[in-house]
Amino acid sequence: MNFLFLGDIFGKPGRNLVRNQLSKLLKEFNAQFCVANIENIAQGRGLTEKTARVLFEAGIDAFTSGNHLWDRRESLEYLQSEKRITKPLNSPTPAYGAEFYVIEKSGVKLAILTLCGQTFMGPANSIFATFDTIYPKIKAITSNILVDIHAEATAEKRAFAYYTAGKVTAVIGTHTHIQTADEEVLDGTAYITDAGMTGPHDSVIGVKKNIILEKMTSGMPKRYEVADSGMQINGVVVTFDENTGKAQKIQRIKREYDDELGKKITC
């Protein structure tokens, strides 16, 4: 079987790309499951119930997240009831969101969970110890397990992939918004350091580049705005044996579009 994972969906341009292109991608890659990172869907900062609903309706089964998950106070109540959005499990505070979620389709289960890195990130407990605690609980349900390792440091993501190699189906990095070209299968575990960003790439990781440049060169605070050009869908497709949970193949996706409707594919 195959699952499609989309890197951080950024703002309205990212949402529109998914709405307009996802069904075609699922068909093209024969993907039975679709998971995406949700932390930037509402103007780059967190989510709202309305924006999440649009993406569920577009065909995403469940979401991983990251450090921006709780940016919007108005979404906290929604996160308490929506089980298909997984919170960073190793957050040190009582946090809103599901610990993990199990998608079930045609009798096949795929579990997803999110862990946030500790290096150059906010407060977080050990990704290794947290994984060890939750793993037996998930393994008792299914061997098909997707871990989103939401982290800044390449070394931390790669070390975690070796730590879990052979135990989970996939370890997929997110958070930097820049896709890496190091996809590989390690002892039955598909790995990539970062899946990239679905949204406007003519930007500094999703934000209008002139705003970031003004901020960085002047040192003065600036109000961020979502960029509106350089549309891309970034992600990976993982092929796995649903009986063993072992990954067989990981394929990187980096599609460029002329606009957020995805009218014309240029490469």
Active site residues: 68
Q: How far is the CB of 79 from Fe ion (least distance, A)?
A: 16
CB nearer to Fe ion: give 40 or 51.
40
Short-list 56, 62, 3, 58, CA closest to 31:
3
CB of 151 to Fe ion, least distance (A): 9
Query: Minimal distance in Å, beta carbon 172 to Fe ion?
Result: 13
For residues 102 and 139, is the Cβ–Cβ distance under 8 A? no
User: Rounded to the nearest whole angstrom, what is the least distance from the CB of residue 155 to Fe ion in the complex?
Assistant: 17
Q: Which is nearer to Fe ion, 152 or 182 (CB)?
A: 152
Which SS3 state, helix, strand or coil, does residue 232 take? strand
- Rounded Cα–Cα distance for residues 211 and 117 (Å): 27
Is the CB of 40 or the CB of 143 nearer to Fe ion?
40
Distances (CA, A) of 244 to 101, 141, 171, 240: 19, 12, 16, 8
Cβ nearer to Fe ion, comparing 167 with 177 = 177
Reported residue count of the chain is 267
Cross-strand partners of 184: 191
76 vs 108 by CB, closer to Fe ion: 76
Residues in touch with Fe ion (CB under 5 A): 8, 39-40, 66-67, 175
| DSSP one-letter string for 142-209 | -S-EEEEEE-S-HHHHHHHHHHHTTTSSEEEEESS-S--S--EEETTEEEES----BEE-SSBTTB-H
- For the CB of residue 107, give the shortest distance to Fe ion in the complex, in Å: 33
